Amino acid sequence: MIENSQSDSKVVQPTPNSKRITLLTKPRLILRGVLIALALVTVYSLVTLDAGNLKFSDAFQSLGANLQAMFLHPGVGQDTWSLLLRALTTSVALAMLTTLLGAFFAFFIAVFSARNLVPSWLATSIKAVMAFIRSIPTILWVLIYSVVMGLGANAAVVGLTFHSIAYLVKAYSESIEETSADTIEALKASGVGFWPIIFQAILPSIIPALLSWTFIRFEINFANAVAVGAAAGADDIGYYLFMASGFYFNFHEVGLIVYLLLGVAIVLEVVSMKLRGHYLQKN
C-alpha cells in the first residue's frame, strides 16, 4: 500500500471571518425595500381610491364612445379654423416668449449659482431659493400673478417665466460646474476678468448642453401654455380646449384640438432631434 507520507496534511479551512459572497449587496437591499414600499402604497391607494359610485363598465364604455367621436370625427364646432389656428399660434408664441425670457435671466442667475465661479454661500442660497420656486407648480404661479396683474397674457407670461427660470438655473449651473476648475484657474492667473472667462471660455464649451436643456424647457413650456389657457384663462388653445370640453361638450372640437396639439408636439420632437444631431456632429 502506498501510504501518504504526510497524513496530517492541512485541510484548507474556510477562514471563519471571511465575508460571505451574496447577490444581496446593500444597494440591492435598498432597491428591494424601495420597490416594496412603493408597491404597498400603490395597493393601499388603489383600494381606497375614491371612485365616487362610478360604474366602471359604463364609464369605460362611454370613454370608448367619446374617444371614437373625438378621433374619428374631428370638427371645428362653433369656433372657426382661423380662430383655432390663431389660438394655436398664440400658444406656440407664449412658449417661445417664456423660454427666451427664462433662458436670458436664468443664464445670468446661473453664473452666480455655479460653485466654481462664486463663493459657496452665495451659490447655496441662490440654489435654495430656486429650489423653492421650482417646487411650486407652474400653474399656481400663474394663478397667483393673475391676481396681481389681472387675468390674461401678462400674468401667464410672468408665471411661466418664473418657473422656467428656476428650472433652467438648475440645469445651466450644473452645466457650468462641469467646466474643469483648472481652466478657470489658468485664465484667472493670466488676468482674465470675470465676464470674459464666462463668455470666452465657459459659454462656448457648454453651448450644446444649454441648447438641449433650453429646448426641453420649450417643450415643457408648450404643454404648460396649454394648461395655463385652460386653468387661468389666457387666450390660447388651452382656453378653447377647456371651453369645448367643459362648457359646450363638443367632443368633435376636442378631438380636433388634440390633433392640432399632437401635430405641434411631433414637429417639436423632430426639430429637437435634428437640432441635437446637428450639434452633436459639430462638436
Partner 1 sequence: MKTNFQSPQQFFRQRRLRLGIVLAILLVIYGVSMVLVNFQTLASLMQVPAGLIWLFKNFIPTERSISYLGPILYQLWRTLIVAVSSTICASLLGLILAILGAKTTSPLPGLRLVIRFGASLLRNIPVVAWAMILLFSFKQSDFTGFLALFFMTLGYLTRAFTETIEDLDGEKLQALQAVGANYFQCVFCGVLPEVASTLTSWVLYMIENNLRDATLVGILTGTGVGFLFNHYFKSFRYDAAGLIVLLIAVLVICLELTSTQIRRAIA
| Residue at 28: amino acid letter | R
Q: How far is the CB of 66 from partner 1 (least distance, A)?
A: 5
Q: How far is the CB of 149 from partner 1 (least distance, A)?
A: 6
Q: Report whether 236 contacts 225 (CB < 8 A).
A: yes
Grid cell of 244 as nine digits: 369645448
Q: How far is the CB of 221 from partner 1 (least distance, A)?
A: 11
Q: Report whether 87 contacts 240 (CB < 8 A).
A: yes
- Decide whether 29 or 186 has the Cβ nearer to partner 1: 29
Q: Report whether 79 contacts 253 (CB < 8 A).
A: yes
Output DSSP code: residue 151.
Answer: S
- Decide whether 73 or 185 has the Cβ nearer to partner 1: 73
- Decide whether 93 or 181 has the Cβ nearer to partner 1: 93
Q: How far is the CB of 227 from partner 1 (least distance, A)?
A: 5
Q: Report whether 84 contacts 252 (CB < 8 A).
A: no
Q: How far is the CB of 28 from partner 1 (least distance, A)?
A: 8
Of 229, 96, 92, the C-alpha closest to 153 is 229
Instruction: Kindly give, in sequence order, each residue whose CB lies less than 8 Å from that of residue 4, ignoring residues fewer than 6 positions away.
Output: none
- Decide whether 83 or 185 has the Cβ nearer to partner 1: 83
> Distance between CA atoms of 142 and 161, rounded to whole angstroms?
9
